[in-house]
């Protein structure tokens, strides 16, 4: 059990990795967090293990793997910020078991991905990547063969979430017909049409674009069998996660000329830094657009993400609010001016709230507000109390069975 009291910001250490937009550092510093370490790259597993124990907050993007082993060494960690959408790089359950909320930016880069995919789709339908590559070699491929307008073509979107829906609207704007497959019932935008079976979507679309998260179900979702279902001369785009598409199966389909082209932004194994070689069987194909996982890498998106996630971390640190945490009970909290606030994180079992209130009552502590939320195995009780014997009460609350951690905000 951890025994932090109200945090002295001077002693709180923040580690920002993977070149998150520098405005994140500014936000921490402006709020009085002076101990911010900034790295342009990700850290290896060994580096994370030897470093993470010093830090109270960590900010990462999609490369840093915060698995259970790394989190085991995160003795002081209070919260994790994923400065991106995907949180599959973090063992969310291990973080939850340690009472560490994980925050992300669920919307900020969605437009950037949708715009990239729209552009790639138009380019691929015209056969531009191959013609461009040929021109760079001095070849002149002036032909209309396999060069098509997007207007009237069918775009099949797999995963009709924040990105999928925006792409849907943009694609309809240039006259495409949009169909989609999602495991949830979704509000349909424009004239898009839901399709009940993945295979039906695959076999009727001119372009397939993937916008699903990485989950056990989406891993390997598009393999040889699914690609075989796709129309002859159709196009596959993946800007979701590298594990969703079997790259060897895709390479074979391109070799066999079953597909007219592809655009791939995410890969099963991605270089850890810009100095490492990118290795992929897709490098040989002129008709494949290969991008280095930059779907969300625009100035606009990165700045918005940095503001959003840094604000969430600072708010959790200063005020205890867990709104929009992805693995944690969500509690939206008012400011606690002139009051002390006790945050109690515990295993979700009966009787904890009663024991908390019993302790407060026995210590003559007056409760001015209380908030309780549970999620799965975790319970989060926030109690605003009048100043006084809060420290004694906190010490006693830490003895309640099932307590994971507790801290006080002055
Ligand atoms: N290339 C890049 O730089 C970026 C990649 N991404 C990736 O894109 C993914 C999607 O992002 P958003 O649209 O914002 O997420 P979202 O959560 O809004 O949408 C995902 C959709 O996929 C659906 N889904 C989940 N499992 C499915 C399955 N097995 N079959 C069909 N549909 C399924 C969900 O119901 C949901 O509607 C992220 O999880 C992330 O991995 C996100 C941002 C940037
Ligand atoms: O937001 C996401 O999920 C992404 O894939 C973007 O990742 P990145 O921040 O570019 O490492």
Q: Which atom of ligand 2 is nearest to the CA of 294?
A: 10
pLDDT of residue 275: 92
Cβ of 154 closer than 6 Å to ligand 2, yes or no, is no
- Residues 156, 354: Cα–Cα separation, whole Å: 53
Structure tokens at 359: 């302790």
Cα of 80 vs centre of ligand 1, distance in Å, is 20
For residues 324 and 334, membership in a common domain is answered with no
For residues 84 and 163, membership in a common domain is answered with no
pLDDT of residue 5: 52
φ, ψ for residue 97, nearest 5 deg: -60, -25
Active site members: 241, 270, 293
For residues 380 and 316, membership in a common domain is answered with no
For residues 357 and 323, membership in a common domain is answered with no
Element containing residue 370 per DSSP (H, E): strand 367-375
Label residue 250 exposed, middle or buried (CB < 10 Å: 0-12, 13-18, 19+).
buried
φ, ψ for residue 225, nearest 5 deg: -65, -45
pLDDT of residue 273: 85
> Residue-wise pLDDT tens for the chain (410 aa)?
344 456 788 889 999 999 999 999 999 999 999 999 999 999 999 999 999 999 999 999 999 999 999 999 999 999 999 999 999 999 999 999 999 999 999 999 999 999 999 999 999 999 999 999 999 999 999 999 999 999 999 999 999 999 999 999 999 999 999 999 999 999 999 999 999 999 999 999 999 999 999 999 999 999 999 999 999 999 999 999 999 999 999 999 999 999 999 999 999 999 988 999 999 999 999 999 999 999 999 999 999 999 999 999 999 999 999 999 999 999 999 888 878 999 999 999 999 999 999 999 998 888 999 999 999 999 999 999 986 667 888 999 999 999 999 999 98
Nearest ligand by distance to the CA of 215: 1
User: Tokens 């100095």 label which residue?
Assistant: 275
Domain that holds residue 361: 329-409
- Residues 191, 201: Cα–Cα separation, whole Å: 16
For residues 277 and 152, membership in a common domain is answered with yes
Q: Which atom of ligand 1 is nearest to the CA of 211?
A: 10
ipTM, 2 decimals? 0.99
What sign has the CA pseudo-torsion 149, 150, 151, 152?
A: positive
Cβ of 61 closer than 6 Å to ligand 2, yes or no, is yes
213, 215, 221, 297: residue to mutate for ligand 1 pocket, most atoms within 8 A of CB: 213
- Residues 276, 254: Cα–Cα separation, whole Å: 26
Identify whether the C-beta of residue 207 lies closer than 8 Å to the C-beta of residue 233. Answer: no
Cα of 300 vs centre of ligand 1, distance in Å, is 20
**Of the candidates 101, 90, 59, 112, which has an alpha carbon nearest to the alpha carbon of residue 324?**
101
**Of the candidates 21, 58, 56, 54, which has an alpha carbon nearest to the alpha carbon of residue 40?**
21
For residues 191 and 139, membership in a common domain is answered with yes
**Helix and strand counts by DSSP (H, E) for the chain:** 13, 16
The pTM score is 0.92
Q: Is 255 helix (H, G, I), strand (E, B) or coil?
A: helix
Structure tokens at 164: 């999928």
For residues 216 and 322, membership in a common domain is answered with no
For residues 315 and 269, membership in a common domain is answered with no
């Amino acid at each position: 059990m951890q025994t932090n009291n109200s945090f002295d910001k001077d002693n709180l250490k923040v580690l920002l990795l993977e070149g998150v937009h520098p405005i994140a550092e500014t936000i921490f510093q402006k709020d009085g967090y002076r101990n911010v370490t900034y790295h342009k790259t990700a850290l290896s597993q060994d580096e994370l293990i030897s470093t993470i124990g010093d830090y109270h907050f960590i900010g990462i993007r999609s490369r840093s793997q915060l698995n259970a082993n790394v989190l085991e060494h995160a003795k002081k960690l209070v919260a994790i910020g994923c400065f991106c959408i995907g949180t599959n790089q973090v063992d969310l359950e291990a973080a939850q078991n340690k009472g560490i909320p994980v925050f992300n930016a669920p919307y900020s880069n969605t437009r950037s991905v949708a715009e990239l995919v729209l552009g790639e789709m138009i380019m691929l339908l015209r056969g531009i990547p191959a013609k461009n590559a040929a021109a760079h070699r001095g070849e002149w491929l002036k032909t209309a063969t396999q060069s098509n307008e997007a207007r009237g073509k069918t775009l099949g979107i797999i995963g009709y979430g924040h990105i999928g829906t925006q792409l849907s609207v943009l694609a309809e704007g240039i006259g495409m017909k949009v169909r989609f497959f999602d495991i949830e019932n979704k509000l349909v935008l424009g004239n898009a049409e839901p399709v009940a079976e993945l295979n039906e979507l695959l076999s009727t679309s001119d372009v397939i674009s993937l916008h699903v998260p990485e989950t056990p179900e989406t891993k390997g979702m598009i393999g040889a069998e699914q690609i075989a279902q796709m129309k002859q001369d159709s196009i596959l785009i993946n800007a979701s996660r590298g594990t969703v598409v079997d790259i060897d199966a895709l390479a074979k389909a391109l070799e066999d000329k079953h597909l007219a082209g592809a655009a791939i932004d995410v890969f099963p194994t991605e270089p850890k830094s810009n100095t490492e070689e990118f290795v992929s069987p897709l490098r040989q194909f002129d008709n494949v657009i290969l991008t280095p996982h930059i779907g969300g890498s625009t100035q606009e998106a990165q700045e918005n993400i940095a503001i959003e996630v840094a604000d969430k971390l600072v708010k959790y640190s200063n005020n205890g609010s867990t709104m929009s945490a992805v693995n944690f009970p969500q509690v939206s909290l008012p400011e606690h001016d002139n009051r002390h606030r006790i945050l109690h994180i515990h295993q979700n079992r009966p009787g904890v709230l009663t024991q908390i209130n019993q302790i407060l009552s026995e210590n003559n502590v007056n409760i001015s507000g209380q908030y309780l939320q549970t999620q799965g195995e975790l319970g989060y009780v926030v109690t605003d109390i009048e100043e006084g014997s809060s420290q004694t009460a906190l010490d006693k609350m830490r003895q309640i069975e099932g307590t994971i951690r507790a801290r006080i905000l002055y």
